[in-house]
Amino acid sequence: MKLSQLEVGQKGIVKEFTDMEMSVKLMEMGCLPGEEIRVDRIAPLGDPIAIRVSGYQLSLRKFEASTIILHKN
């Protein structure tokens, strides 16, 4: 399950990343393995999305979200 597949309001826990370059940037911003992510909103045109992670709101593009693999729950 990728982060980009979540609907608004759904949560997931980060398992791993598929893209090294992106993962370095995402981890710096607090998107770490084991961290819970909730999708807060999707931009009016369908991209980017806004997520809640580590106690704040972060926006990222769908493509970037698709590099984040979530645990099955």
Partner 1 sequence: MKADIRVALVGNPNTGKSTLFNVLTGLNQKIGNFPGVTVDKKVGYAQLPDGRTAEIVDLPGTYSLYPKSQDESIVFSVLADRSSALVPDLVVVILDATNLKRNLLLYSQVADLKIPVIIALNMMDMANKAGITIDINALAGQLGVPVIPISARKLEGVDKLKQAISFANKIALQQNSIDVRSIAPDVVDSISIELNIDNPYFALQLAHQHEHLKFLTPEQSNRIEQLKLEHGFHSQKAQGAETLARYAFINELLYDTVKTPATAHDETFSNKIDRVLTHKIFGFIIFFAILLFMFQAIFSWASYPMDLIESFFMWAQDSLNNALPAGPLTSLLVDGVVAGLSGVLVFIPQIAILFAFISVLEDTGYMSRVTFMMDKLMRKVGLNGKSVVPLIGGFACAVPSIMSTRTIENWKDRMITIMVTPLVACSARLPVYTLLIALVVPNQRVWGIFNLQGLALTGMYVFSLLSAIIVAWVFKMILKSRERGYFIMELPVYRMPRWSNVAFSMYDRSKSFVFEAGKVIIAVSIILWVMASYGPGDRFEQIEQKYARTEYTFNFSPDELKTLTATEKLENSYAGVLGHFIEPAIRPLGYDWKIGIALITSFAAREVFVGTMATIYSVSGGDGDTASVLQKMRDAKNPKTKKPVFTVAVAFSLMMFYAFAMQCASTVAIVYRETKSWRWPAIQFAYMTVLAYVVSFITYQWLK
**Residue 12: strand pairing partners:** 37
Nearer to partner 1, 32 or 69 (CB): 32
Based on the shown chain and the rule CB under 8 A, indicate whether residue 7 belongs to the binding site for partner 1: no
**Residues written for the chain:** 73
Binding residue for partner 1, selected from 23, 37, 39, 70, defined by CB under 8 A: 23
> Is 32 within 8 Å of 17 (Cβ atoms)?
no
- Token look-up 């698709």 returns 66
| Start-to-end Cα distance in the chain | 10
Binding letters toward partner 1, positions 25-64, x by CB under 8 A: xxxxxx-xx------xx-xxxxxx-x-x-xxxxxxxx--x
Residues that bind partner 1 (CB under 8 A): 20-30, 32-33, 40-41, 43-48, 50, 52, 54-61, 64
